[in-house]
Amino acid sequence: MNLNEYQRAALRTLNPALDDRDQLLDAAMGLSEEAAEVLGLVRKRVFQRRDVDVVRLSEELGDVLWCLAVTAHSLGLSLDAVALANQAKLAGRHPDGFKPNRPRGPEDWSRSHSE
């Protein structure tokens, strides 16, 4: 399954009682809510050294993906287009892959040369 296929499948589960505006708001708010649930699980794993059920984490990440798919659709964007634009942005920012000490822009150049 590719991203656009997933997005089409996700859209079949939209709440038909919501108008376009409310679908956008519901999905965007859900994106924040579901991302916070992922963060909570990661927090428990990292800081509390608790076992985190990988199935539960996968389910929460799936909820994030659903909200992202609907948010993008509500804004007239396909997930493939979002992914391609993000990849282009990252390639421009990190053409040779991520290097932690590489200056990224003018605001970083002065700091990196003064250290």
CATH code at 8?
Answer: 1.10.287.1080
How many of the other CB atoms lie within 10 Å of CB of 71?
20
Q: What pLDDT does residue 56 have?
A: 97
Q: Which residue has the higher pLDDT, 108 or 61?
A: 61
Q: CB 101: neighbour CB atoms within 10 A? A: 7
Q: Which domain holds residue 74?
A: 3-114
Judge whether residue 115 has pLDDT over 80. no
Please, which pLDDT band fits residue 107 given cuts at 50, 70 and 90?
low
Per residue in 72-101, pLDDT (tens digit) is: 999 999 999 999 999 999 999 888 898 888
Give the number of other CB atoms < 10 A from CB of residue 23.
19
CA-angle at 23, arms to 65 and 54, nearest 5°: 20
Buried b or exposed e, range 35-59, using 16+ CB within 10 angstroms: bebbeebeeeeeeeeeebeeeeeee
pLDDT at position 71: 98
Q: Which two tokens stand for residue 27?
A: 């999905």
Tens-place pLDDT, residues 37-71: 999 999 999 999 999 999 999 999 999 999 999 99
Question: pTM of this prediction?
Answer: 0.84
First to last CA, the chain: 48
Query: Into how many domains does the chain fold?
Result: 1
